[in-house]
Amino acid sequence: MSSNLFVPDLSGSSCKDVILQVLLEEWPLSPKEVFNRVKRLSKEDVSYQAVHKAIVLLEKSKVLSKVGGKYSIDVKWVENLSTFTDFLKKNLSSDKVGFNLGRKMIFSTVYEVDQFLCELGKFLAPTKTDAVALYWNHFWIPLFFDNKTYREMKDLIVSANYYAVTKASTPLDNWCASFWKGIGLKEKTGVKEAYDTDMFVCRDFIVQVFYPYEIKKEIDKVYKSVKNVSELDVNKFFRTVFEKKTRIPVLISKNEEVAAELIKQTKEMFGE
């Protein structure tokens, strides 16, 4: 299964892992030089075509940078990886260690989840060539642009090809959708076919957020009671709901076929 995003495999056995091992020891190298070193280190027979394809994918994912026909590990990717793993260590519950795909992580506030999604978005760094699907119980990012995390989320969304949908169609949801549409982004409210679980799908990554009933109920209450965004006490809403202590499981998985199907279904909701 190919992946547009490289996440290090602790086994160190994949072609991409060996390429990174090579470039950690010596750089910059041409594709031919990388192949010769990979061939010596690899546990299995590997062709030049396979190594070259892996190099191209790593470059596309911004893991490698190319200068004058030679490749090095991209420093910015290393910085993003470090920031992302530091964030995970800080925010994951004590019984979870590291970045475990297919494992559940626990966050204690809605805001912590949003911080995590923002850091994940920076790590993945999707571009206009990447279709990204977002499912929300409600839209809220534009409500909190006074907060740095949500401004960074806006920058990430603007830089990629996002499709965002929600079943909700309250004045606040529609106001948020109008903001995004006003800058040319794809947003839909009142989509009955939308999934109940909040979800982020990018390349072969699938992130599912399971907000507890009491938090969803409190958010719903505010959205149903506010008829115009000017009526909303944003600071109070953020303080009493988004920073309220709770227990929010988040599941991260990698599945190329499932992710592709989810993105396909999301595009169909926009008539694409």
Calpha distance 200→157 (Å, rounded) = 12
The full set of domains in the chain, from first to last, is 15-73 (1.10.10.10), 77-269 (3.30.870.10)
* Cβ contacts of 123 within 8 Å, gap of 6 or more: 80, 81, 83, 84
pLDDT of amino acid 120: 86
What does the pLDDT look like over 93-134, one tens digit per residue? 444 333 445 556 888 999 999 998 988 888 888 888 889 999
What does the pLDDT look like over 147-164, one tens digit per residue? 999 999 999 899 889 999
pLDDT of amino acid 215: 95
CB atoms within 10 A of CB 63: 25
Calpha distance 177→99 (Å, rounded) = 32
Q: Which residue has the higher pLDDT, 192 or 91?
A: 192
Partners of 201 in beta bridges? 133, 206
Model's pTM, two decimal places? 0.67
b/e sequence 97-129, b meaning 16+ C-beta within 10 Å: eebeeeeebbbebbbbbbbbbbbbbbbbbbeee
Q: Is the pLDDT of residue 35 over 50?
A: yes
Confidence of residue 85 (pLDDT cuts 50, 70, 90): low
209: left (phi over 0), alpha (psi -120 to 50) or beta: beta
HEC sequence for 242-271: HCCCCCEEEEEEECHHHHHHHHHHHHHHCC
pLDDT of amino acid 98: 38
pLDDT of amino acid 76: 81
| Helices vs. strands in the chain: H and E counts, helices first | 10, 9
